[in-house]
Amino acid sequence: MSRAGSFIRQPTGYTAFIPKPLPPDPPLAIDGEILTLLSRADQALGRLDGSTEMLPNPDFFVAMFVRQEALLSSQIEGTQASLADLLEFEANAPPRNLEDVTEVVNYVRAMNYGLRRLKELPVSQRLLRDIHAELLRSGRGSGRNPGEFRDSQNWIGGTGVSIEQASFVPPPPAEMRRALDDLERFLNDPAPMPVLIKCGLVHAQFETIHPFNDGNGRMGRLLVTFLLVEAGALRRPMLYLSVYLKQNRSDYYDVLQCVRTDGNWEGWLRFFLRGVAEMATSATDTACAILRLREAQRDLVSQRIPGSAHALRLLDYLFEQPMLAARQAQERLGVSFHTANDLISQLENLGILRETTGNRRNRLYAFDEYLRLFAPALETGERAADQRTRSGILGSDKEPGHGG
């Protein structure tokens, strides 16, 4: 037994973990290292939140951050979709790997849906079920009870691993329900606690409870963003931990397991706070790079394209939709198809757009310099997803058998 909970042998022979309610008891030992990490993470989060106010039409730019997180979080679970696949799908091009793209599109939909619902409903079991229904609305997870908590046992392990051999077995359904009720009470507890400490505790507890048949990893990562937005720590959803968790996936699994076996909440919080500071700083750097790129491209268009009002509007649209067809430009700008084609050709001549298909018809154009700002994180995600394919599931939300 630890202060996080107990491993209890079940009647059928396997051992499952039954978590204790939050907050930890005995209380957290907030030492100097945790205070320093918390201060750095808070400062980085504040800079990130402030950086969004520098961006014109910041919601347009946020769309790319949401896409990036959707891809990275889905790649942890083994999907092979790329950013190009997703953007081509959004541009109504035939998808090359429909199932993988569908999972990413579902994630984007679930994120946006959850953010809208936060305006009328707090983070709660009801909200989690509603978001989960969007996450698994279609594709591979659609047959695994979207929007419903599990009523059977799940477990975490590599492909073909039995429950007796599992690396971790979450609480059985009855104990799971009690743990969810306890978690909701903690979420609504008015006792003062730093928001990032609370986020870290909730994420770890959610992953331990593992309440769904599928999608737990993705839901747990979404949960951090929803909690930060709900608390007002972020006005827009630009902080995501998937890059950090993938780069440090073995450590992530280890520190979560140490919470369960040793009650080492402090070790987990140190890991979590480092990730928040690192990812917030990276997102701030990206936001500043976006602003510099926009200013440089607007200057170029203004100088090189006479009567450039429509071209500048198209350029702004590219920051929201960085891969598009002429028909999309026509509809967005309210111009003729011929005018839209002409504007695209002008941006192509300036090196802002690149035609990607080589076709004479149904062409697609990519805003390469903007997409490159997101490439390092996505390339990290693709390498991690490939490593996961070779080495088996580690802390995934898609377990074998009755996994979740």
Q: Where are the domains of the chain?
A: 5-154+169-286, 306-372
pTM above threshold 0.95: no
Question: Who has greater pLDDT, 241 or 202?
Answer: 202
Round to whole Å and give the CA distance between 312 and 324: 16
Q: What's the pLDDT at 376?
A: 65
Q: What CATH architecture is 5-154+169-286?
A: Orthogonal Bundle (1.10)
Q: How much is the CA Rg of the chain, to the nearest whole Å?
A: 23
Which CATH topology does 306-372 take? Arc Repressor Mutant, subunit A (1.10.10)
Residues 6+ apart with CB under 8 A from 40: 273, 277
Same CATH fold assignment for domains 5-154+169-286 and 306-372 = no
- How do strand 5-9 and strand 15-19 relate by DSSP bridges? antiparallel
Find the mean pLDDT for residues 296-317. 93
Which pairs from 312-319 meet CB under 8 Å and 24+ separation?
314/340, 314/343, 314/344, 314/347, 315/347, 315/352, 316/56, 316/57, 316/60, 318/347, 318/352, 318/353, 318/367, 318/370, 319/57, 319/60, 319/61, 319/64, 319/290, 319/294, 319/367, 319/370
Alpha-carbon dihedral 266, 210, 23, 226, rounded to 10 degrees: 90
Mean per-residue pLDDT of the chain:
88
Residue type, 216: N
Question: Who has greater pLDDT, 346 or 55?
Answer: 346
Of all residues in the chain, the percent with pLDDT exceeding 70 is 92
At 104 the three-state DSSP class reads: helix
Tens-place pLDDT, residues 309-350? 999 999 999 998 999 999 999 999 999 999 999 999 999 999
Residue type, 296: A
